[in-house]
Amino acid sequence: MVPEGAAAVTAGNSDVRYAHLVEFGTTKAPAQPFFWPAFRSQRKRAETRIKRALSKAVKEEFNK
Amino acid sequence: MSAALTLQKAIRARLVATSAVTDLVPASAILDRNQRPAPSPSIILGEAQVLDEGDIARKRSRVFHTIHVWKLEASLAGVTAINATIREALRDRLSLDAGHHVADLYIADSRAMRDPDGETSHGVVTLEALIVEEAS
Question: What residues of A are in contact with residue B115 (Cβ under 8 Å)?
Answer: 26-27
Per the structure, the count of domains in chain B is 1
* Interfacial residues of A (vs B; Cβ cutoff 8 Å): 20-21, 24-31, 33, 36-37, 40-41
Q: What pLDDT, on the 0 to 100 scale, is given for residue A4?
A: 81
How confident is the model over B71-108, as pLDDT tens digits?
Answer: 999 999 999 999 999 999 999 999 898 899 999 999 99
Q: What is the CATH number of the domain that holds B68?
A: 3.30.2000.30
Bridge partner residues of B68 (DSSP): B44, B124
Paired sense of beta strands B120-133 and B100-114, if any: antiparallel
DSSP-derived secondary structure for B12-25: HHHHHH-HHHHHHS
Q: pTM value?
A: 0.89
Q: How far is CA B131 from CA A63, B14, B99, in A?
A: 48, 17, 10
When computed from its CA atoms, the radius of gyration of chain B, rounded to whole angstroms, is 15
Residue B69, chain A, CB below 8 Å: the answer is: no
Q: Which residues of A touch B124 (CB under 8 A)?
A: 24
Residue among B84, B57, B59, B56 nearest B69 (CA) = B84
Provide the pLDDT for residue B136: 63
Half-sphere exposure of B17 (CA within 13 A, CB side): 10
From chain B residues 39-58, the ones with a CB under 8 A of any chain A CB are 47, 49, 51
CA distance A24 to chain B (A): 8
Averaged pLDDT score across all residues of chain B: 92
Of all residues in chain A, what percent carry a pLDDT higher than 90?
53
The torsion defined by the Cα of B84, B132, A49 and A57, in degrees rounded to 10, comes to 90
CB contact under 8 A, A24 and B122: yes
Length in residues, chain A: 64
ipTM of the complex: 0.83
Q: Do the Cβ atoms of B117 and A36 come within 8 Å?
A: no
Interval A31-60: pLDDT, tens:
999 999 999 999 999 999 999 998 998 999
**Widest distance between CA atoms in chain A:** 59
Boundaries of domain holding B25: 3-133
